[in-house]
Structure 1
């Protein structure tokens, strides 16, 4: 067994790990390292699509690996110097957060993706409904070719269909609705029109994952995280089992999944545990659970009779969505989500019919202004036109609704006139300068609307101030320090490799005296247990 830590040694996000056993070579996650990304890029300064891999390669933001990347993203003047030549038979995705899967669009389109059906559905829904850049072509690729009059550039080929990625579902079967969704182009009109102006999608049918890849046996385990479809993996190697946790926690509603995972893999006597440590150094005295969030938010909504309530949380945080749906039901309100968020909910239901949140009697879809709706949106809005709620309806009876809005939706509130409403900030704290500035702008919007704000406040007279968070309105998607120590001791690997953390030294201190050797392999180097 050989393991190369491509990235993720001392950063939260951007995990990329190569595992080799015999003839098999696989990747564990391939995400964006937002810390390093933010050194060069922001919302309006991004890698140039016409230069393909070049910008990311030149800035050192992707591993310099031969045999990994799409050939159609390599301009003719791009002569890369490789650090590694790797044989890769698949990419194993732990979950659909972009810091774990956000650069999959760069990988060869014939390389199979191994993920849960729910995780894959989220990846495709994000691509269908968003303005994904070339590196974010997670489920299907838009073919490119060298520009005829300028060999330095690659350009998309409008006459060629999208090329779907092979998908192997790691947690059982693939429902028929999900198979259809995976093979449906972002503009469904392509299914019924012969016009070449509407791009079609040629995608292989998703299949259940095999029991092994080139002799490498593996097993996937559902674990609890803030996004559905999260998976941990166990790989059987010659040295012994190698376990990769991805992101997980014990304090969520499905923490029993994480406990079963730990107890099961412990029986295999793992050789190596690769584990996250996101919350180390961010620890608070209280490990807030989703039930705490429900109780605290319910109290606020009950005290806001007749007022519009806005709940700020990520729509992919399904557990938080369920929390506010329960609150909406108890307070006789309707929770409104945006069309793209409802589309994602429908995609999740295709993969797991038990997660049918669009069928909840207290959910609705905010009918935001759209001058030129895209193909997927036209078809979706027609399917769910009975759930659409217009801005004037909210304005006429604000106390009837909870809006699932965030900073980027503030201008849509201008059509509602929500003056004197209530804002519940139920998202994670701001880590990084970009998020801090966003919260300053959000604070200005909320002051403009004269809203009562819960969950955060701004300390300072101007943008040089800082946000302060309170109120028990957010439960972390990551495992706490105490639970992390339990997890490690329960699994009891021979070696431990910490990733997805800024505090690797904690593992050395916390496991001092334990028969577990902590190995601090740097980025770009091979793991060695010697």
Structure 2
């Protein structure tokens, strides 16, 4: 074993699920601890779900989670004595951004494993948790429940912004912002006594905040990186579509839908896409009606004074959808519960416009009904869009069979209602040329491709460019010595 070891427990030969363990003589740190949706899909789905009391036993058996002692919550370990330990096996986990394939399974980490995350990313994690109907262990990154005594407590998360030095044992970690399809995304520079390691997280160079990624690349180029752990989601895809092109395409599609209903599906955390949709709607004289969940996330960000500018819910171009309760009523006091009851009450108190499905149905060409999850599609039944109305697909591209099935359900609804699908998207991930160009600029000694189904393409493409960096294709849990 070398003085520094790298083990990839998730993200090797798959898109997402990143769990990268960095080990030195005295310190162990995870870079991300995401949900591997491809691993889960092999054993679970539909009615097949893990039992709460043995979720760790099932997930470690199936390889969804690594079989490592001293990292998991004690209240979920049950009889897994080989995984119990008095002291944590790792000191910390650094979350690069709030997408679940990078942070989702941090919910299983024991509370004395310290979590680090961007300040805005932490607000996003909290808001997403608050709006979930499920409260299983898998949904508890921030607010946790100890199933032994029922105690609910908040996990300690230390927040950071770009450039802040995180001293974790003998590892000096420096987060530097990058552009991705969610705010508060970071790459990491790890300064060790023996080596310098850089980790891109998820990044792109064609987005509206591409200068942030340029700053990260400049930083790691100047550092002189020994090992570059780099994402390669689109290493097989040279195409580039900018956010400006997305906005122009949306505007054109909305103009074509004059006199008819317009619905858009965007990612919950993709605020660049939301801004593009707002601009396109303004240009054609429409207002956005936001799903309550999306509006709630915007509201939480605005109130927590993060360093991101979010749309003002009380503006003339935004309204919030007054979703009927399960009984069909609209009274915030009687018909809603939890976060939704509180949020709708705040909207009424502060003058935020609320729009019912009946209003959407009456004035179809006045609004763009904006959804952030496919579960909301049945709401279209109340709106009754006429044939020829448009549906803007503008969430992430499907990367696996499960996402294809989800997309198929959307298409089935649209065909049923006679709506016209229009796919408009710009990826949150670097294109082939952006990935290879980044490696050329940084010129690391060793490259470890993660978050990709095509790791072998790295050697082939770099060879064509005459890049001499050594490509080490990670095998799950096998140590790469530095």
**TM-score (normalizing by structure 2):** 0.91
- Match of 2:91? 89
Q: Does the C-alpha gap of structure 1 residues 133 and 81 become closer, same or farther in structure 2, counting only changes over 3 Å?
A: closer
- Residue 345 of structure 1, CA deviation: 1.5
- Match of 1:397? 363
Write the mapping of 1:176-191 to structure 2, written as runs, cut at 5 A. none
Pick the aligned partner of 2:416 from 448, 457, 476. 448
Equivalent residue of 1:267, what SS? helix
**Contact conserved, 1:169 with 1:209, CA < 8 A, in 2?**
no
**Contact conserved, 2:289 with 2:367, CA < 8 A, in 1?**
yes
Equivalent residue of 2:47, what SS? coil
- Match of 1:291? 244
Q: Which string of whole-angstrom CA distances, capped at 9 and with x for unpartnered residues, describes residues 25-60 of structure 1?
A: 211001111111101111432211122412112222
- Match of 1:238? 193
Q: How many residues align?
A: 460
- Match of 2:209? 254
Q: Does the C-alpha gap of structure 1 residues 365 and 432 become closer, same or farther in structure 2, counting only changes over 3 Å?
A: same
Task: Provide the rounded CA distance (Å) in 1 between the counterparts of 2:403 and 2:473.
Answer: 30
Task: Provide the rounded CA distance (Å) in 2 between the counterparts of 1:489 and 1:351.
Answer: 38
Task: Provide the rounded CA distance (Å) in 2 between the counterparts of 1:290 and 1:489.
Answer: 25
**Contact conserved, 1:109 with 1:141, CA < 8 A, in 2?**
no
**Contact conserved, 1:219 with 1:235, CA < 8 A, in 2?**
yes
- Match of 2:329? none
**Contact conserved, 2:52 with 2:137, CA < 8 A, in 1?**
yes
- Match of 1:355? 309
Task: Provide the rounded CA distance (Å) in 1 between the counterparts of 2:381 and 2:91.
Answer: 50
Task: Provide the rounded CA distance (Å) in 1 between the counterparts of 2:281 and 2:433.
Answer: 33
Q: Which string of whole-angstrom CA distances, capped at 9 and with x for unpartnered residues, describes residues 489-519 of structure 1?
A: 1111111111111111111112224231111
Pick the aligned partner of 1:316 from 244, 269, 281. 269
Task: Provide the rounded CA distance (Å) in 1 between the counterparts of 2:57 and 2:312.
Answer: 42
Q: Does the C-alpha gap of structure 1 residues 528 and 443 become closer, same or farther in structure 2, counting only changes over 3 Å?
A: same
- Match of 1:463? none
- Residue 448 of structure 1, CA deviation: 2.1
Q: Choose 125-134 or 352-361, whichever is displaced more.
A: 352-361
Query: Could you list the runs of 5+ residues in structure 1 that have no partner in the other structure?
Result: 146-156, 173-207, 456-472
- Match of 2:224? 269
Q: Which string of whole-angstrom CA distances, capped at 9 and with x for unpartnered residues, describes residues 463-504 of structure 1?
A: xxxxxxxxxx10011000001111111111111111111111
Equivalent residue of 1:474, what SS? coil
- Residue 209 of structure 1, CA deviation: 6.4
- Residue 383 of structure 1, CA deviation: 1.0
Q: Choose 432-441 or 128-137, whichever is displaced more.
A: 432-441
**Contact conserved, 2:165 with 2:175, CA < 8 A, in 1?**
no
- Match of 2:377? 410
- Residue 142 of structure 1, CA deviation: 0.9
- Residue 355 of structure 1, CA deviation: 2.1
Pick the aligned partner of 2:154 from 164, 186, 195. 164
Task: Provide the rounded CA distance (Å) in 2 between the counterparts of 1:367 and 1:399.
Answer: 18
**Contact conserved, 1:266 with 1:492, CA < 8 A, in 2?**
yes
Write the mapping of 1:472-491 to structure 2, written as runs, cut at 5 A. 473-491=424-442
- Match of 2:330? none
- Match of 1:127? 129
- Residue 23 of structure 1, CA deviation: 2.5
**TM-score (normalizing by structure 1):** 0.83
Q: Does the C-alpha gap of structure 1 residues 304 and 521 become closer, same or farther in structure 2, counting only changes over 3 Å?
A: closer
- Residue 351 of structure 1, CA deviation: 4.9
Pick the aligned partner of 1:434 from 402, 407, 413. 402
Equivalent residue of 2:395, what SS? coil
- Residue 215 of structure 1, CA deviation: 3.3
Q: Does the C-alpha gap of structure 1 residues 112 and 351 become closer, same or farther in structure 2, counting only changes over 3 Å?
A: farther
- Residue 132 of structure 1, CA deviation: 4.3
Write the mapping of 1:326-341 to structure 2, written as runs, cut at 5 A. 326-341=279-294
- Match of 1:192? none
Q: Does the C-alpha gap of structure 1 residues 256 and 436 become closer, same or farther in structure 2, counting only changes over 3 Å?
A: same
More helix by share: 2
Q: Which string of whole-angstrom CA distances, capped at 9 and with x for unpartnered residues, describes residues 131-188 of structure 1?
A: 243122111211111xxxxxxxxxxx44x2x21111111206xxxxxxxxxxxxxxxx
- Residue 212 of structure 1, CA deviation: 1.0
Task: Provide the rounded CA distance (Å) in 2 between the counterparts of 1:408 and 1:12.
Answer: 23
- Residue 81 of structure 1, CA deviation: 6.3
**Contact conserved, 1:114 with 1:209, CA < 8 A, in 2?**
no
- Residue 522 of structure 1, CA deviation: 1.0
- Residue 419 of structure 1, CA deviation: 1.7
Q: Does the C-alpha gap of structure 1 residues 209 and 142 become closer, same or farther in structure 2, counting only changes over 3 Å?
A: farther
Q: Which has the higher contact order (CA 8 A, sep 6+)?
A: 2
Task: Provide the rounded CA distance (Å) in 2 between the counterparts of 1:441 and 1:87.
Answer: 43
Task: Provide the rounded CA distance (Å) in 1 between the counterparts of 2:146 and 2:212.
Answer: 39
Q: Which string of whole-angstrom CA distances, capped at 9 and with x for unpartnered residues, describes residues 211-250 of structure 1?
A: 4112321211110001111111101012221101110000
- Match of 1:104? 106
Q: Choose 501-510 or 370-379, whichever is displaced more.
A: 370-379
- Residue 431 of structure 1, CA deviation: 3.1
Task: Provide the rounded CA distance (Å) in 2 between the counterparts of 1:211 and 1:315.
Answer: 29
Q: Does the C-alpha gap of structure 1 residues 81 and 73 become closer, same or farther in structure 2, counting only changes over 3 Å?
A: closer
- Match of 1:141? 144
Write the mapping of 1:25-104 to structure 2, written as runs, cut at 5 A. 25-75=28-78, 77-80=79-82, 87-104=89-106
Equivalent residue of 1:249, what SS? coil
- Match of 1:469? none
